[in-house]
Amino acid sequence: MGRKFFGTDGIRGLANQFPMTADVAMNLGRALVAHFPKRGSTFRALIGKDTRRSGYMFESALAAGINAMNGDWVDTSD
């Protein structure tokens, strides 16, 4: 069995220190598209973030992973 990163409050840690890195966020985006069944023709995710600077890094990396797997995402700040 692999390592467990999700707790009751999601993935926790300090920004730019494992597991809170852009690489982990991008791989998470890829895994979401691969794991969850598609409803219709395209996987869609809603990405929310708080106001810390690291939120923009994680949002971009997560979106990049979703895009890499031909998924679609919506930014909550729009």
Residue pLDDT, tens place only, 27-68: 999 999 999 877 777 888 999 888 889 999 999 999 999 999
pLDDT greater than 50 at residue 75: yes
Residue 78 — pLDDT band, cuts 50, 70, 90?
low
pTM for the whole thing? 0.83
pLDDT at 1: 47
Residue pLDDT, tens place only, 6-34: 777 788 889 999 999 999 999 999 999 99
From residue 53, alpha-carbon distances to 24, 43, 64, 73 in Å are 17, 27, 18, 20
